[in-house]
Structure 1
């Protein structure tokens, strides 16, 4: 078969293996079937219970008061001869409604407040979480009693009390999870390509925190049932003539020794409902993203609305959002001059991590940035591509991508161009790909969000992207999640994602790290074919100077946030003049290396471009120039 990148450009053919078997749904497992049967049983009893069992539940028979459990009365009778089993069945509806209402209040309230806190400015966020922490420090029962007094003693008052009292703990959980997810690479990438705060929450954060929330919801539902029982025991829950499982349990406890089933019966109902909730959460929790299908549908509807709105803007707007290569002038693709990147140090000062870097990328050129860990390679490339966000502080004399001034205020059309024309291959695809969304959902985001394609066209583009990087059965693998791909396939899927737009620049941030040499060669071959087919420039970041020199056209060597040397890749061994570059080359053993000798160690002090040496100053921990004899 013939592979093409999106746009119809032919690539090398790749073999296609037979489609693999699809994984069986968790709902057909033992836990899933038990959850389905249990929830169906509860719903059926809640619906038909009052109609079927109301008469024996309310009929008085003084002659059979406090009858023990038997065939006629499975749970016995109460103090006026009413059948306790029938009352338990009738109470199912009210108990489930109260439990669902209280759980919805605490989960919904915690979700809204927690997500709001995650996107607020720093001071407002701290203030809101501080208030929640104060409420969380109060005893839970004390908050319930406080809210019960406010809304009087009733079933609705108890539901509001239990729901509101549980909001602080859920808020803390949601805030912590949302904060951890919002720092992931795929969330930062979504922000850069123009996805707004609401879109980031709905598409990326909510699916990733859904599973813990489902588990917490099941635990909250079980706790809520017991909470109603506790309030009924104190006389603050459901009031006569209404009754729920908690009130029946309270009434049965008084005769536990004469008729144990009077208390055990309602207890069985409570435990059974809690087990059903837990099994539902466990089953859905094993299927990433399934718990928030409603949110996914809402986001798809919103995306369709935005696409239609863009289409109504006329053909001029469409041409602006999808630039054609024939309309671009030949020249510098991307350039930075005197780039400096600094971060707050926590004490009101700034720590500079990139020091005056100047770099230029030409169309179709592969530029390698090499250096040890912490040398500023990734920061330089991310700043060049406009991917750095706060708290990073970026200053430069010039920072341009294909005519777009990245230091200026970017308009909507410019941000769409950046989202379409810059592709990023992150170092660790397992953390860069959203684990809660399918590969297809992630590969179609750019075509639908920026190119305005329909669902079918975007899917076709995603299939082309996966086929272009040699993934067999591309159409079938779109339904898979990242954890179902091997490490090499995830890395190739990241490259395919970069090809779903119309890439002019591809930033590959150590794409071969932790891959074996065979997979490394495959990944590099895919990048090379994509570069030749699209004419895109590539910034290839690595700490392996041999890999960079064999793949790139030009090599930029960085040390301590500064460029120390820039060389043609083909003559890096012959033309290297800087001691640090020579040290990197010397650290690579070859067939002539004496294996009885230790590898050389690169010294602490190295020459900077201005003739000084950059050395670590133990006095203040900062980098300072030290004059040395050349």
Structure 2
């Protein structure tokens, strides 16, 4: 990955634009280093016999009011002008990164207040802010340096906010949080390395802007003060005699333009070469985050001494433009040691959100509430954040849907696994690395020691998925949550991953929660199946009885829509008619009623509770007895005909 990144940067500088920018910038930086050494004598030596002379062979740009050579002074001033511009850029970039990363570093609500302040500040022109802060910090070099740095910070902070928001939602960041990585380490190790290129590009362009801004303040008499001088101060001095000697103003002005152009062209060349440009930033809208009313009757979960996870009436809400949106409403379940439970349902039914809520990975402005949420006997709703991170980081493992986004692309696989051991088991780097190699070997990755030193893009899809399982095994997990672990994998690799999950379960008595769209995989892999629809569980039954004893019309429709070896290939595939309801507008009664052939007025007016029968199965349907009979209508459509 390092070689690929270096190749992109080298390619950026090999283009005509890149060569031009590199030559200009190198010339400016070289002058900043050598000019004071070579020409400081001529620049500082007064000559009263040559006061205010025009250009000549001895003085190409003329002399100033003390007879000093103007061209030599312009060359010598390169160092101070460039150094001040770079210092102001560093102040602005550092402040901008800290402000832009506030949502990650501070969380909510402090992060939202910082974001709001940045959005207000970025609405003002940068030069106006620089003038304002120059007055606040005082006239002089230090005041101008702070003023320009502070003026630059809001724009850079807004860019950082956008980039951080794009990375903070990735699975590998969620995995790091689940592993208990602290906020500062999360930012420096997992977020910033993945947004470094656009930040460097914009910092390079910002340096050119800071150089122009500093020259402007010095020109107005608010920047560098005598006896020191930079290009802006020389431009102001030369302007008073521009009619007698135009070169006195034109030469420092040209130096400002060329140096500013060098920084900006360099940034443009890099942006063009690596194919990255700063995103367009638009202020967003923040709304309240009330969860809203309970939309489903609570379901009590009986006590179980062997329970690993107990969830009762779990709800997740987000603020919406017309009020709270509650995509998860009243989920209740229990998982025991060594048990494999599958969750199935259409996209948007709440399967993955249930897993994220259990793992405490729902970010603000989302709100998670539960009457009971216990993991290994620990109440996750009342425990302190540090205790929750330690418990979840060592005893809960998650395998995300796309392992390519679950791993940090800027870190080696071994380092990402070792980080878990360093954070929670107190291992040093050497022992943690050895443990990571051992875990990769345990999940059957060939050449584990060599593979640990590789980056995620060097792994195949199946190997990345096995490595993700290996990361979960870095601790001693009691619960493993696998969210669509076989998505986009071929049948052979899919079978290997499922076999590995079962081996992990059997070896250490680990409870496995398998989330999948593939009802066939769940039926073959799991002991129990939870069917979710519209943010709640509508049926809970043994997997062995799924095909023969399903009692909810939605479950039967899912089964009917799955083709098998007896499916007539001459007919169109069966589909469930209609679409799931909008979470912002749940219907009054059963959410499946508009798509169900058994629905009546009671179904449309009253939502059925999730009730247990005498065989410890649960179903939420007013017509469960009818729907479970052989020959009952199934809500599927084949070629436009309902069956």
TM-score bracket for this pair, using the shorter chain length:
0.7 to 0.9
Distance 1:139 1:419, change over 3 A: closer
Distance 1:259 1:112, change over 3 A: closer
Distance 1:340 1:260, change over 3 A: closer
1-structure distance, mates of 2:208, 2:70: 22
Distance 1:247 1:451, change over 3 A: same
Q: Find out whether 1:594 has 2:568 as its counterpart.
A: yes
Following superposition, the deviation at residue 188 of structure 1 comes to 3.7
Give me the TM-score of the superposition, normalised by structure 2.
Answer: 0.74
Gapped regions of structure 1 (runs ≥ 5): 1-19, 287-329, 607-611
Following superposition, the deviation at residue 502 of structure 1 comes to 1.8
Q: Find out whether 1:161 has 2:135 as its counterpart.
A: no
**Partner in structure 1 of residue 129 of structure 2:** 143
Distance 1:83 1:342, change over 3 A: same
Q: Find out whether 1:220 has 2:206 as its counterpart.
A: yes
Gapped regions of structure 2 (runs ≥ 5): 277-303, 581-588, 596-600, 609-620, 627-643
Distance 1:270 1:249, change over 3 A: farther
- Aligned residues of 2:105 and 2:187 also touching (Cα < 8 A): no
Q: 1:281-318 CA distances to partner (integer Å, 9 max, x unpaired)? A: 999999xxxxxxxxxxxxxxxxxxxxxxxxxxxxxxxx
**Partner in structure 1 of residue 370 of structure 2:** 395
**Partner in structure 2 of residue 440 of structure 1:** 414
Q: Describe the SS at the equivalent of 1:588.
A: coil
2-structure distance, mates of 1:220, 1:115: 19
**Partner in structure 2 of residue 105 of structure 1:** 91
2-structure distance, mates of 1:136, 1:443: 40
**Partner in structure 2 of residue 89 of structure 1:** 75
1-structure distance, mates of 2:134, 2:605: 59
**Partner in structure 2 of residue 171 of structure 1:** 157
**Partner in structure 2 of residue 539 of structure 1:** 513
2-structure distance, mates of 1:349, 1:24: 45
Worse-matched range after superposition: 126-135 or 31-40: 31-40
2-structure distance, mates of 1:212, 1:622: 54
Q: Describe the SS at the equivalent of 1:444.
A: helix
Q: Find out whether 1:615 has 2:589 as its counterpart.
A: no
Worse-matched range after superposition: 509-518 or 468-477: 468-477
**Partner in structure 2 of residue 202 of structure 1:** 188
Q: Describe the SS at the equivalent of 2:607.
A: strand
Q: Find out whether 1:381 has 2:355 as its counterpart.
A: yes
1-structure distance, mates of 2:37, 2:605: 79
Following superposition, the deviation at residue 438 of structure 1 comes to 3.4
Following superposition, the deviation at residue 600 of structure 1 comes to 2.6
Q: Describe the SS at the equivalent of 1:452.
A: coil
**Partner in structure 2 of residue 466 of structure 1:** 440
Following superposition, the deviation at residue 95 of structure 1 comes to 1.3
2-structure distance, mates of 1:348, 1:216: 38
Worse-matched range after superposition: 348-357 or 276-285: 276-285
Distance 1:153 1:494, change over 3 A: same
Q: Describe the SS at the equivalent of 1:157.
A: helix
Q: Describe the SS at the equivalent of 1:447.
A: helix
Q: Describe the SS at the equivalent of 1:457.
A: helix
Distance 1:552 1:96, change over 3 A: same
Q: Describe the SS at the equivalent of 1:176.
A: helix
Distance 1:341 1:150, change over 3 A: closer
Match of 1:421 among 383, 386, 395: 395
1-structure distance, mates of 2:30, 2:538: 74
Match of 1:521 among 485, 488, 495: 495
Q: Describe the SS at the equivalent of 2:313.
A: strand
Q: Find out whether 1:360 has 2:334 as its counterpart.
A: yes
2-structure distance, mates of 1:571, 1:553: 10
**Partner in structure 1 of residue 476 of structure 2:** 502
Q: 1:90-148 CA distances to partner (integer Å, 9 max, x unpaired)? A: 22321122112211222222233333365557565555444443433333333323333
Following superposition, the deviation at residue 369 of structure 1 comes to 1.4
Structure with more relative contact order (C-alpha pairs < 8 Å, separation 6 or more) = 1
Distance 1:559 1:394, change over 3 A: same
Q: 1:521-561 CA distances to partner (integer Å, 9 max, x unpaired)? A: 34324333433444322111101111222232333322233
Q: Describe the SS at the equivalent of 1:224.
A: helix
- Aligned residues of 1:443 and 1:497 also touching (Cα < 8 A): yes
Q: Describe the SS at the equivalent of 1:147.
A: helix
Distance 1:394 1:117, change over 3 A: closer
Following superposition, the deviation at residue 495 of structure 1 comes to 1.7
Q: Find out whether 1:182 has 2:168 as its counterpart.
A: yes
2-structure distance, mates of 1:605, 1:23: 44
- Aligned residues of 2:235 and 2:252 also touching (Cα < 8 A): yes
Q: Describe the SS at the equivalent of 1:572.
A: helix
2-structure distance, mates of 1:375, 1:109: 42
Q: Describe the SS at the equivalent of 1:339.
A: strand
1-structure distance, mates of 2:381, 2:231: 64
Give me the TM-score of the superposition, normalised by structure 1.
Answer: 0.75
2-structure distance, mates of 1:382, 1:134: 33
- Aligned residues of 2:102 and 2:115 also touching (Cα < 8 A): no
2-structure distance, mates of 1:127, 1:252: 46
Following superposition, the deviation at residue 440 of structure 1 comes to 3.0
Distance 1:155 1:410, change over 3 A: closer
1-structure distance, mates of 2:76, 2:568: 86
2-structure distance, mates of 1:283, 1:470: 40
Distance 1:418 1:104, change over 3 A: same
Q: Describe the SS at the equivalent of 1:507.
A: strand
CA RMSD of aligned residues (A): 4.2
Match of 2:10 among 7, 25, 29: 29
Following superposition, the deviation at residue 410 of structure 1 comes to 4.7
Q: Find out whether 1:66 has 2:46 as its counterpart.
A: no
- Aligned residues of 2:9 and 2:270 also touching (Cα < 8 A): no
Q: Write the mapping of 1:196-275 to structure 2, written as runs, cut at 5 A.
A: 196-248=182-234, 254=242, 264=254, 267-272=257-262
